Chains A and B, each alone.
Chain A
Amino acid sequence: MAAHLSYGRVNLNILREAARKELREFLDKCAGSKAIVWDEYLTGPFGLIAQYSLLKEHEVEKMFTLKSGRLPAADVKNIIFFVRPRLELMDIIAENIISEDKMHSPRDFHILFVPRRSMLCEQRLKEQGVLASFINIEEYILDLIPYDGDLLSMEYESAFRECYLENDQTSLYHTAKGLMTLQALYGTIPQIYGKGECARHVANMMLRMKREFAGSQNQILPVFDTLLLLDRNVDLLTPLATQLTYEGLIDEVYGITNGYVKLPPEKFAQKKQGEASKDLPTEPKKLQLNSAEELYAEIRDKNFNAVGAALSKKAKIISAAFEERHNAKTVGEIKQFVSQLPHMQAARSSLANHTSIAELIKDITTSEAFFDNLTVEQEFMTGVETDKVNTYIEDSIAQKDPLIKILRLVSMQSVCNNGLKQKVFDYYRREILQTYGYEHILTLNNLEKAGLLKLQSNSRNNYPTIRKTLKLWMEDANEQNPNDISYVYSGYAPLSIRLTQVLARPGWRSIEEVLKMLPGPHFEERQQLPAGLHKKRQQGENRTTLVFFLGGVSYAEIAALRFLSQMEDSGMEYIIATTKLLNGTTWIKSLMDRPEAQTS
């Protein structure tokens, strides 16, 4: 089961169970054997809610991927389409159904829209003449998906693009709805703070939705004390920087999707004992990464430079544990040793996996290219020569390095300089268009619109003030035994997390000036609790804050929040929610024009 979801301060398994219950209820509505036709995008997120076994219990016998043409043969009574509400998918469904009818097979069709029904889609099905073929058309509201004991994500990839480029606030509605579901399960959150335009919208929607339900009062003792809503565009800098935590680097290098990472197989050639790998050796090795794995939970949030030491320490502990068998003399002792074996073997294979991953990543972090790139990033973050054309960027363009890398660096320079000088801006843009092609002019426009690139206005560069006030750069970051969140980027303390930290203590009033420099309003709202639900806090009991990143959050930021939760004197535990887990590369990609056409 999903034990890793209930370890934390807040039992997120409750949310998962609620989602599973709803799924079961829908499946039981379609009596008899079933086949599910999947919108491929949904399989990842769904895997976190329900494994195949649950579906099987409810007579799901076959699963297909949604494709145009005819449906594969399946001897089942029901065909259920699990889809996002997208018009192009409706056309495929219509094609499936029309080619099906010709065969006169008496099957029942159903659609489950995730996360919302859409009138437009139903209209499209009607136009195609297939709407009447469906017995059930329902929605499955899956807004916040539990990823780990302290982490929720909507995996809404285009949220940032929609909010900041296209002025489409659909994702904010889903966010507000998701937060209402959360409050229904975990109690009304008494205090709401926020910074940014989108945060303001979400808070307004939540308060309005609450008024609409004014009749029924939520009688659950609140689990969360505070909700903090943060717009991604309040802190554009952090995701652009290369993450230096173990998990962050795995994501930067290989990409983590829906809690899984695919790795080159060479390093994992050895089969683990008692576990026959189904993959052919040529296929990438797929690993699940979450806190259910003891070792991973321990090292994921460390700075990568501290991972080696942690792994070798673990190796010593494990081999010492295996050595214990020589000391076992009596039958009772041997029995005890044997009973621990499965656990120890699991620990050993987990250690082997992470040693291999760490080796793979080390090859990259020790390369000259990585070092040069990082040096430039750190120069920008500390404000060194941010108003000149940077030689390293220039050389990288001349060598035709991946475009996204260039865009990440130029954006970073722009953000750290509060915009680029006209001459510098034009130079970079010309270089990019001449080298990578004129078509990228649209991508450059998008980045400009999102605020990642901009022309310096006459106003002063206020980044240095922000950096100093919030202590964004710490000269003596300790990577091995950190005493400050700046360890996650080896010196740079993420702006978003500093805001969170200051809010807890001493409060935002102390940084009014800086808050005004950052985009969007900052605000505070209170939600009245019914009498009797006011928590009586025990001495020394931590408070719980839900931090919601609108537009995405990086693994390094999550690591920084976990670090704050663990600090003894912080008195605050954090649960993290977001529209999307991202890194600089996936983020920039989501802003590019026709990203699927980009190969470089």
Chain B
Amino acid sequence: YQVTASYREKSAVDEYNKAKNEFSAKATEDEMRLLRFQRKLDDEKGAGLLGLSLQATMEALLALGLHKQAEQLYRDFRVPDKRYWWLKLKSLAEKEEWEELEKF
């Protein structure tokens, strides 16, 4: 499955490039990157991330306490600071990790 899926996306990227649709080509590459990341974590930790949006993935990671991984996505995908901090604050507040919040 993995092989065919990534093959299909690869060709999607090619098609978008052919159509000179730079934005969609880039977005599709990003999505492939995200899927690979999700699969890896699902295999390692059984996190159940596959198919979630980037935001929902980061949310799930924070809920699981995988802060480092969430941080990695935030940097790799150049998530705007405002959106990420908002998410992080919300997640910490929900889990009532006030100490962690203090450290901000």
Point out residues on A near B: beta carbons under 8 Å. 394-395, 397-400, 425-426, 429-431, 433-438, 441, 445
Asked if B23 contacts A434 (CB within 8 A), the reply is no
Asked if B23 contacts A431 (CB within 8 A), the reply is no
Query: Which residues of chain A have C-beta atoms less than 8 A from B87's C-beta?
Result: 398
Asked if A435 contacts B54 (CB within 8 A), the reply is yes
Given the contacts A429-B27, A433-B27, A438-B27, A398 and B86 also touching, CB distance less than 8 Å: yes
Asked if A434 contacts B24 (CB within 8 A), the reply is no
Interface residues of B in 74-98 (CB under 8 A from A): 77, 79-80, 82-83, 86-87
Q: Which of A426, A429, A431, A441 contacts B83 (CB 8 A)?
A: A431
| Shortest Cβ distance from B56 into A: residue | A437
Asked if B79 contacts A434 (CB within 8 A), the reply is yes
Asked if A429 contacts B23 (CB within 8 A), the reply is yes
Please give me the 6 A-B residue pairs with the lowest Cβ-Cβ distance, nearest first. A437-B53, A438-B31, A434-B54, A398-B83, A435-B55, A398-B86
Digitize B22-35: 1 where CB-to-A-CB distance is under 8 Å, 0 elsewhere. 01100110110010
Asked if A435 contacts B86 (CB within 8 A), the reply is no
| Minimum CB–CB distance for B41 against chain A, Å | 17
Q: Identify which of A399, A431, A434, A437 gathers the most chain B CB atoms within 10 Å of its CB.
A: A434
Cα A211 to Cα B15 in complex, Å, equals 47
Asked if A398 contacts B53 (CB within 8 A), the reply is no
Q: Which of A399, A429, A436 contacts B53 (CB 8 A)?
A: A436
Query: Which residues of chain A have C-beta atoms less than 8 A from B55's C-beta?
Result: 400, 434-436
| Shortest Cβ distance from B53 into A: residue | A437
Q: State the interface size on chain B (CB cutoff 8 A).
A: 19
| Minimum CB–CB distance for A488 against chain B, Å | 35
Cα A445 to Cα B25 in complex, Å, equals 13
| Shortest Cβ distance from B21 into A: residue | A445
| Shortest Cβ distance from A427 into B: residue | B80
Point out residues on B near A: beta carbons under 8 Å. 23-24, 27-28, 30-31, 34, 52-56, 77, 79-80, 82-83, 86-87
Cα A395 to Cα B90 in complex, Å, equals 14
Query: Which residues of chain A have C-beta atoms less than 8 A from B56's C-beta?
Result: 437
Main secondary structure of the interface of A (DSSP, over half): helix
Q: List 10 A-B contacts (CB under 8 A).
A: A426-B23, A430-B27, A431-B83, A433-B27, A433-B30, A433-B53, A433-B54, A434-B54, A435-B83, A438-B28
> 12 new A-B pairs (CB below 8 Å) besides A430-B27, A435-B83?
A394-B83, A397-B83, A399-B86, A426-B23, A429-B23, A431-B80, A433-B31, A434-B79, A435-B54, A435-B55, A437-B52, A438-B28
| Shortest Cβ distance from B79 into A: residue | A434
Asked if B24 contacts A441 (CB within 8 A), the reply is yes
Query: Which residues of chain B have C-beta atoms less than 8 A from A441's C-beta?
Result: 24, 27-28
Query: Which residues of chain B have C-beta atoms less than 8 A from A400's C-beta?
Result: 55
Query: Which residues of chain A have C-beta atoms less than 8 A from B24's C-beta?
Result: 441, 445
Cα A433 to Cα B82 in complex, Å, equals 16
Query: Which residues of chain B have C-beta atoms less than 8 A from A430's C-beta?
Result: 27
Cα A437 to Cα B50 in complex, Å, equals 12
Asked if B80 contacts A438 (CB within 8 A), the reply is no
| Minimum CB–CB distance for A392 against chain B, Å | 12
Cα A53 to Cα B33 in complex, Å, equals 61
| Shortest Cβ distance from A435 into B: residue | B55
Cα A445 to Cα B87 in complex, Å, equals 28
| Shortest Cβ distance from A394 into B: residue | B82
| Shortest Cβ distance from A425 into B: residue | B23
| Shortest Cβ distance from A434 into B: residue | B54
Cα A392 to Cα B55 in complex, Å, equals 18
Asked if A434 contacts B86 (CB within 8 A), the reply is no
Query: Which residues of chain A have C-beta atoms less than 8 A from B54's C-beta?
Result: 433-435
Query: Which residues of chain A have C-beta atoms less than 8 A from B80's C-beta?
Result: 394, 431
Cα A438 to Cα B26 in complex, Å, equals 11
Query: Which residues of chain A have C-beta atoms less than 8 A from B79's C-beta?
Result: 434
Cα A431 to Cα B81 in complex, Å, equals 12
| Minimum CB–CB distance for A389 against chain B, Å | 10
Query: Which residues of chain A have C-beta atoms less than 8 A from B83's C-beta?
Result: 394, 397-398, 431, 435
Cα A431 to Cα B27 in complex, Å, equals 11
Cα A399 to Cα B90 in complex, Å, equals 10
Query: Which residues of chain B have C-beta atoms less than 8 A from A431's C-beta?
Result: 80, 83
Query: Which residues of chain A have C-beta atoms less than 8 A from B27's C-beta?
Result: 429-430, 433, 438, 441
Given the contacts A400-B55, A429-B23, A434 and B82 also touching, CB distance less than 8 Å: no
Asked if A435 contacts B82 (CB within 8 A), the reply is no
Cα A346 to Cα B84 in complex, Å, equals 56
| Minimum CB–CB distance for A72 against chain B, Å | 39
| Shortest Cβ distance from A437 into B: residue | B53
Cα A430 to Cα B52 in complex, Å, equals 15
Query: Which residues of chain A have C-beta atoms less than 8 A from B23's C-beta?
Result: 425-426, 429
| Shortest Cβ distance from B83 into A: residue | A398
| Minimum CB–CB distance for A108 against chain B, Å | 50
Cα A399 to Cα B59 in complex, Å, equals 12
| Minimum CB–CB distance for A483 against chain B, Å | 44
| Minimum CB–CB distance for A356 against chain B, Å | 35
Query: Which residues of chain B have C-beta atoms less than 8 A from A425's C-beta?
Result: 23
| Shortest Cβ distance from B54 into A: residue | A434
| Shortest Cβ distance from B86 into A: residue | A398
| Minimum CB–CB distance for B58 against chain A, Å | 9
| Minimum CB–CB distance for A402 against chain B, Å | 14
Cα A430 to Cα B56 in complex, Å, equals 15
Query: Which residues of chain B have C-beta atoms less than 8 A from A435's C-beta?
Result: 53-55, 83
Cα A584 to Cα B94 in complex, Å, equals 34
